[in-house]
Chain A
Amino acid sequence: MALITVENLVKTYTTYKRGSDFRETVKSFFHREKITVNAVNDISFGIPEGQLCGLLGPNGAGKSTTVKMLCGALFPTSGRIISAGYSPAAERGRYVKEIGAVFGQKSQLIFDIPPEDSFNLNRAIYDIPKADYNERLAYMTKLLDVEDVIKKPTRVLSLGERMKCEFIMAMLHAPKIVFLDEPTIGLDVIAKASVREFIANMNKQGTTFILTTHDLDDVCELARRVIIINKGEKVFDGELENLRNYLGRKKVIELTLSERLSGHLTEVLPEAVRKAILASSFPSELQLTLEADMDIMPINQFIEHLAESIKFTDISVKELPMERIIADIYKS
């Protein structure tokens, strides 16, 4: 049974439009043109307990609005959400005890005092028994290597240190579900790795995560399942592995040429091969990169034809980069 069930979720809101010139500014004092925005349009999905699901989409796709509705912070215009047995917005008071959230761009820590003081406030708010609090705090600070950091004022912490403390803040009350909205934004590679390891670790212990991010490495490393939203609508929902095949079986073939091509690529390659090639580029004089659709021509035949037509000293065959797959899905 799904821990989170979302059915036909819709969120519309009204905003105002005005031009940027002075006349429009003056006019806007008397009349503003209303615009109805369909931020989320008929989205449905279910998330089982213990899953780590990536929620992807371009800017303005409706991801954050969806997460806010799942957190109970926004009321849906229509549709139904049942999360951990609650209707999030209607039963917000009881529901939020079961969830935690980390917003990459919205801090829950109090800026002027050490994170430990913010944690203590949360202990009072969530009524966490002292022994449990101490145990969880010790465990998480050790896992994230911030035992000393939590005693320094938040304002002097680095972004990475602050983000680690945000995770502790969100998880001290042992929530069943944690919503992550761009948790690794702006972090260096080491901090990202540490945060990802922490998420993976907590997920192994049974916490369900909904991860909203633009960093596809986060998704590739953590999520088993991905939901893609574009223009308020769900455009993909499935395993990460299936996402790679979503646009067909495409490969990137990189060749190191032994000599310059005798003519244009279209003259050198047979027509059957050309049909399978979706894009080509020359990163350098002796480097050729091809993007090919293996549904049109199987990989063994494609390489066989290449070897007959072009002299090369090295070849590598790669999966289409996830960024490219996602970008293609956004465009389509």
Chain B
Amino acid sequence: MRRIAVTGIGAVAPGEPGRERFWDRMVEGRPATRGVTLFDASQMRSRVAAECDFDPIACGLTPQEVRRNDRFGQFALVASAEALDDAGLGRDDLDGERTGVCLGSAVGATMRLEEEYVAVSDGGRHWEVDGSYAGPFMYPVFVPSSIVSEVAVKFGANGPASLVSTGCTSGIDAVGQGARMIADGEADVVIAGGTESPISPISYACFDAIRATTPANDRPAEASRPFDADRQGFVMGEGCAVLVLEDLDRARARGAHVYCTVAGYASRANAYHMTGLHPDGVELAEAVARAMDEARVDPGDIGYVNAHGSGTVQNDRHETGAYKRALGPAAYDVPVSSIKSMIGHSLGAIGALETAACALAIDRGVLPPTANLTTPDPECDLDYIPGEAREARVGHVLSAGSGFGGFQSAVVLSRT
């Protein structure tokens, strides 16, 4: 049975890009949420966002890479480069045919698709659009799998390559599937993660329409409040995290730093509603239980839970129920936190950012807090690490995601 190591981490998270800036924010418990600057959100109900201060050229991309790729693809190229560099794997060190790419994204290149649509439809005046007004590279924008090709081409990865688009669990699922590529012997190294750039009018309008995002526009830094009684919905975020996954024996043989292993993964569906959740969390509990089975850990072994914690009433209660069901009495002893309190909910990217935070938590011995948790919801009665990070040496951590389609996913990471 092959074990899967995490040997490199790259991040473009809200705020300054880069893994260490991301981790500093986690340790300091400092929210990156603010009023939307990426577009004029004055017509929107929710006008808060967790945005990346991202300059693709300063981050090392070439002008042509910038032109070809929508923002979410640019994030992926930058985070992949950082992750591979962190792993000590240059293009020449990689065995291309044994290297795979598995990235998640929920909404793809919607930012560029919308911008171009405004031109070809002349601001929504025409349904029969005029293609002569379209910019270049429309096909790559049409099929978001193009960013997987961009990463494969840039780093010479000839192994299996795929984009996973399971909505809000895409990031966890991409890491889980990437790990399976190695477990099944189909690759030795996988560039795995999730990326998203949904801070655009159509994404805001569509979440406004279901009142899932917060209208707390007058206090943007405190707008994302998972498990807090005053929460009003989630804050849209953007960003990307990429993990270099590697066969553990191979990683050890080359003397690589190993953050942790990906010890277990499972995804399940609630088969109930595209956006609704049972309050009892049965299916999320099932995913958690199966991921723990695969990792061969018991509830008492889990030292930290990185929650989905989106900051909607429905989610926070559903999730709290699921942990009690899956972990039993141990649920009351294990620290649980939601980093969405600081970096918002970046849809298909967040699961990868959360997994990266878990790997760093194991490696650095610090558990990120839930920011803005000042008035606990009486129905959410676990230890959510309010306000400040905690130092703790943990052996096994659980990260969970829940989202559109009723999909529920869980991954267990373990100290080696």
| A, B from the same assembly | no
Residues of A within 8 A of B (CB): none
